[in-house]
Amino acid sequence: MPTRISDSFRPHHSQKHFDLNSIKELPESHAWTSSNDHYTQENSCNFESIPVIDLDNNNNNNNNILDHIGHACKKWGAFQIINHSISERLLQDIDVAGKTLFSLPMQQKLKAARSPDGVTGYGAAQISSLFSKLMWSEGFTIVGSPIEHARQLWPKDYKKFCEVIEEYEKEMEKLAGRLMWLILGSLGITKDEVKWAVGPKGETKEGCAALQLNSYPACPDPGRAMGLAAHTDSTILTILHQNNTSGLQVYQEGNGWVTVPPIPGALVVNVGDLLHILSNGSYPSVLHRAVVNRTRHRLSVAYLYGPPTGVRVSPLSKLLDHRHPPLYRAVTWSEYLGTKAKYFDKALSSVRLCVPLSGFADAKDHNGVQVG
Ligand SMILES: C=C1C[C@]23C[C@H]1CC[C@H]2[C@@]12CCC[C@@](C)(C(=O)O1)[C@H]2[C@@H]3C(=O)O
Ligand SMILES: O=C(O)CCC(=O)C(=O)O
Ligand SMILES: [Fe+2]
Confidence at 343, pLDDT banded by 50, 70, 90: very high
Q: Does residue 167 lie in a domain region? A: yes
| 253/287 Cα distance (integer angstroms) | 10
Summarize the confidence of residues 114-141 as an average pLDDT. Answer: 95
Q: Does residue 77 lie in a domain region? A: yes
Which residues are tagged catalytic? 298
Given the CA of residue 231, which atom of ligand 2 is nearest to it?
Answer: 7
Question: Can you list the alpha helix ranges (DSSP code H) found in 58-112?
Answer: 62-75, 88-102, 106-109
CATH number of 76's domain: 2.60.120.330
H/E stretch holding 275: helix 273-278
Cα(first)–Cα(last) distance of the chain, in Å?
Answer: 20
Tell me, in angstroms, the distance from the centre of ligand 3 to residue 301's CA. 10
- Number of compact structural domains in the chain: 1
Q: Whose CA is nearest to atom 1 of ligand 1?
A: 210
Confidence at 261, pLDDT banded by 50, 70, 90: very high
H/E stretch holding 152: helix 147-153
Q: Does residue 36 lie in a domain region? A: no
Summarize the confidence of residues 113-121 as an average pLDDT. Answer: 94
Q: Does residue 37 lie in a domain region? A: no
Q: Does residue 25 lie in a domain region? A: no
Taking only the tens place, the pLDDT of each residue in 180-227 is 999 999 999 999 999 999 999 999 999 999 999 999 999 999 999 999
Q: Does residue 17 lie in a domain region? A: no
| 281/276 Cα distance (integer angstroms) | 5
Tell me, in angstroms, the distance from the centre of ligand 2 to residue 247's CA. 9
Strands, E assignment, 19-152:
52-54, 78-82, 121-123, 138-142
Q: In what order do the strands lie in the sheet with 248-252?
A: 228-231, 288-290, 248-252, 256-259
Q: Does residue 1 lie in a domain region? A: no
Measured over the CA atoms of residue 212, residue 217, residue 220 and residue 223, the dihedral's sign is positive
Ligand nearest to the CA of 245: 2
ipTM reported for the complex surpasses 0.90: yes
Give pLDDT, residue 326.
98
Please, what's the largest Cα pairwise distance for the chain? Answer: 66
Q: Does residue 359 lie in a domain region? A: no
Confidence at 12, pLDDT banded by 50, 70, 90: very low
| 252/60 Cα distance (integer angstroms) | 27
Tell me, in angstroms, the distance from the centre of ligand 3 to residue 222's CA. 19
| 319: containing domain | 59-351
Given the CA of residue 231, which atom of ligand 1 is nearest to it?
Answer: 15
